[in-house]
Structure 1
Amino acid sequence: MVMLGEFQTGQRLAEEQIAEQLEVSRTPVREAFVRLHADRLLSRFSDGGYFVAEIDLIDLRDLYELRLALELQGINRAREFGIDHDRAALLALRKEWQAVQKSPPEPDGSFIELDESFHVALLRASGNLALVEVLESVNVRIRPVRTYDFLSEDRIVTSTAEHLGIVEALLDHQIPLAADRLREHIGASLEVVEERAAEAMRRRALRSRITREV
């Protein structure tokens, strides 16, 4: 509901009202607030209440640029420094995502965790753990909006296939091809995220205007 723009930016979320609407107790709603706050989709008032956080699309583009640079460096290490990727790790990653491809999860924001694990594992296979640490910090900052990427079945199917394509290229020692596929993959993700985040922002603005007029 937050990601689809069903609440206004800055709107205090009423725990009891949402629990009644979803026909659940207040406990899972409270737990959802905590999780959404950790993912930076919600912010907190000084009295402890929660409200919908604003999306910064300019900051998002900058962070995606940094993310791409980090991951490309991981792939290109094998070409620039003659360092091979951890083949056992790549084989394990391929096996894991072949299983995901056979039985894809339901489309929702939780797929972000599985997606992040792929990119971290891929970078770790390059052997540079310092790059991995920086990527993990970037992931935390872009996670709130990256969840918009996985709200439809086609995005999960497409992303899974792209993951496998990147790994296959690395296993075949086709470093330039792997880099190209990664660049296209992250670029497509940014395009989808920006479009859906912008749409959510438009919905929130419209709801806010309607509320003021009423």
Structure 2
Amino acid sequence: MSTVRPRPAPSAPAPAADTAVFRTRADEVYAQLKRDVAEFILVPGDRFTENEISDRLGVSRTPVRQALFRLQQEGFVEVLFRSGWRVLPFDFDQFEQLYDLRMVLETTAVHRICEADHRVDRSLLDTLAGIWLVPVAERSTDTAQVAQWDEAFHCSLVAAAGNAEMARVHSDVTDRIRIIRRLDFTQQPRIEATYDEHAKILKAIRANRGDQAAMLLRAHIETSQAEVRKITLHQVHLARHAGKTAPR
């Protein structure tokens, strides 16, 4: 009597060798296009094709398409029927809501930092002090640098509070309002005011005066929020022109 041996189950097909490569390249293209928006290389209303992006970045269309679909889901671009893609116009109602959310997260964070029984990452606060609590003569006048430091200041405050979920949500909000905040730092008086306001907030936090720190932070964010309401598309195009002519 012969024994019928069961056939081995077919093995799953091996993933294509370049799948991971495409995924990595798509991530790189995604990050680059977000930088392009934040740095005014691509501005609201700009139209482009996948081929144009492929040629500019030196990659194939597959990772470009993957990156664009991801950016579409996040509300940065939209696909146009038979005519490529477009950077979405500013949604100022959405910006208002995001600033409101940001204010809740950040004021909550500074209250937590100032609570005596709360574990805080003091190294983050020390790093911020090294940037913002400096003599006037040592302040940076590099608008791009100060814009990055400003973003890091607010993200670090939330991170220092020790709530990972708060930090994750705040990071998402920061991502979505980046272009608006960068526009705020095209004006030198706003840079000087930011140094002064950040210094006052940090001093209140270091003295564990939570209510004062939250009040100062709220006023600081409200000032920035008011500047957002004044932004016009003309300013965006001026910022793009300045970026093209600035020394690299």
TM (norm. structure 1) is 0.68
| Residue from 129, 140, 145 that aligns with 1:104 | 140
Aligned to 1:177: 212
Equivalent-residue separation in structure 2 for 1:141 and 1:9 (angstroms): 14
Task: Provide closer, same or farther for how the CA distance between residues 135 and 9 of structure 1 changes in structure 2, counting only shifts above 3 A.
Answer: closer
Change (3 A) 1:52 1:99: farther
Higher relative contact order (CA 8 A, sep 6+): 1
2:114 and 2:209 in contact (8 A); partners too: no
Q: Unaligned regions of 5+ residues in structure 2, if any?
A: 1-36, 58-63, 238-248
Does residue 118 in structure 1 map to residue 153 in structure 2? yes
Structure 2 counterpart of 1:66, from 86, 101, 120: 101
String of CA shifts for 1:99-134, please: whole Å, max 9, x gaps: 5952313335x6433211111111122222221111
Counterpart CA distance in 2 for 1:8 and 1:91 is 36
Are residues 1:94 and 2:129 paired?
yes
Q: 1:36-185 maps to which residues of 2 (within 5 A)?
A: 43=77, 51-78=86-113, 82-83=117-118, 85-98=120-133, 102-108=138-144, 111-185=146-220
1:188 aligned partner, one-letter code? T
TM-score normalised over the length of structure 2: 0.60
> Aligned equivalents of 1:115 and 1:8: distance in 2?
22
Q: Secondary structure of the equivalent of 1:195? A: coil
1:194 correspondence with 2:248: no
Cα distance change on mapping 1:161 and 1:48 into 2, 3 Å: farther
| Count of residue pairs brought into register by the alignment | 186
1:203 deviates by 9.3
The structure that has the greater radius of gyration is 2
Q: Judging changes above 3 Å, is the alpha-carbon distance between structure 1 residues 80 and 195 closer, same or farther for their aligned structure 2 residues?
A: same
Deviations 1:42-75 (A, max 9, x none): 7365679664430111000101010110111111
Question: Residue 21 of structure 1 aligns with which residue?
Answer: none
* Offset, 1:11: 4.5
Secondary structure, counterpart of 1:177 in structure 2: helix
Could you tell me how far 1:85 is from its partner in structure 2? 3.5
Alignment CA distance shift 1:8-1:128 (3 Å): closer
Normalized per residue, the structure richer in helix is: 1
Alpha-carbon distance in 2 for matches of 1:160, 1:128? 26
Structure 1 unaligned segments of length 5 or more: list them.
15-25, 205-214
Tell me which moved more, 78-87 or 165-174.
Answer: 78-87
Mean Cα deviation higher: 110-119 or 179-188? 110-119
CA distance in 2: counterparts of 1:88 and 1:72, whole angstroms: 20
